[in-house]
Structure 1
Amino acid sequence: MRGKKALGAGALVLALMSGVGWAQAADSKAPAEPQAAPAAPAAIDGYQLVRLPNQNVPNFQRRVAYCPPGKVAISGGAEAQGSDAILVGSFPTDDGRGWIGLGRQNRFGDVGVSVYVICANR
């Protein structure tokens, strides 16, 4: 390996024991291996979960959970409940302020639908 310095076994063991991973010589022309950042929980400003509890609605009728004023939807989900229930859709509103859920049942004219939206400050 021309122009590269190999690490000795001691340096490799030290690097592995310290959790740093592979290291390179300073004069190496190859890019350095990416280092993992310490794991820390991500803080989301104004995090809030809004839940529309289960309610029976006609098949394919949309249920919408909205974020409070000043907040936007960053994620969400929905659940269809009932015998033979199928979740047909789960997606954000066009304006980004809420989450839509809709479902259906094969043998019945209505279905139970719950909707969840995760909100954060703008």
Structure 2
Amino acid sequence: MPSKKIATLALAGTVTVTCLATIGAAHAQSSGAAQPSQARQAPAGYQIVKLPNANVPNFQRRTVYCPSGKQVIGGGAEAQGNDAILVGSFPTDDGRGWIGLGRQKAYSSVGISVYAICAS
């Protein structure tokens, strides 16, 4: 029986060492990812344009445009109200602005604000 006990202890020791090595390797990899990265610069002419909240009929589009000479590179919208649901948030077909629309289940109007991220 002593050989079975020794084999069991050896196996347990091997499993423990393997687990500790795996944890150590994972920690080393994750701490490497925490290194500070170089700061990214904003694109030339970067600007956020906001169309403030206004109540509009359900499903009515609200559109905000970038200033002249700039294109939209992103955007978003927010639906505000007790039952507000944002139905759509997408760029204009010409790439110069952003559209937002929404609705409320129990009301005929909804508050919509729209944001466009613009660059030269």
TM norm structure 1: 0.68
After superposition, what is the alpha-carbon deviation per residue over 1:80-118, rounded to whole angstroms, capped at 9, x for unaligned?
000100000000000000000000000000000000000
What letter corresponds to residue 119 of structure 1 in structure 2? Answer: C
The reply to whether residue 92 of structure 1 matches residue 91 of structure 2 is yes
Q: Specify every segment of 5 or more residues in structure 1 that has no aligned partner in the other structure, as ranges.
A: 1-15, 22-35
CA distance in structure 1 between the aligned counterparts of 2:61 and 2:75, rounded to whole angstroms: 14
CA distance in structure 2 between the aligned counterparts of 1:41 and 1:116, rounded to whole angstroms: 22
Which residue number corresponds to residue 40 of structure 1? 39
Which residue number corresponds to residue 76 of structure 2? 77
CA distance in structure 1 between the aligned counterparts of 2:45 and 2:52, rounded to whole angstroms: 22
Identity %: 69
Matches within 5 A, 1:51-62: 51-62=50-61
CA distance in structure 2 between the aligned counterparts of 1:59 and 1:78, rounded to whole angstroms: 14
CA distance in structure 2 between the aligned counterparts of 1:82 and 1:38, rounded to whole angstroms: 40
Which residue number corresponds to residue 18 of structure 2? none
TM norm structure 2: 0.69
Aligned to 1:107, the other structure's residue is in SS state coil
Cα 1:37–1:83, aligned 2, differ >3 Å: closer, same or farther? Answer: closer
Task: Flag the structure with larger Rg.
Answer: 2
- What is the root-mean-square deviation in Å for CA atoms of aligned residues? 2.0
Aligned to 2:75, the other structure's residue is in SS state strand
Q: Where in structure 1 do 4 or more consecutive aligned residues deviate above 4 Å?
A: none
What letter corresponds to residue 106 of structure 1 in structure 2? Answer: K
Q: Specify every segment of 5 or more residues in structure 2 that has no aligned partner in the other structure, as ranges.
A: 1-27
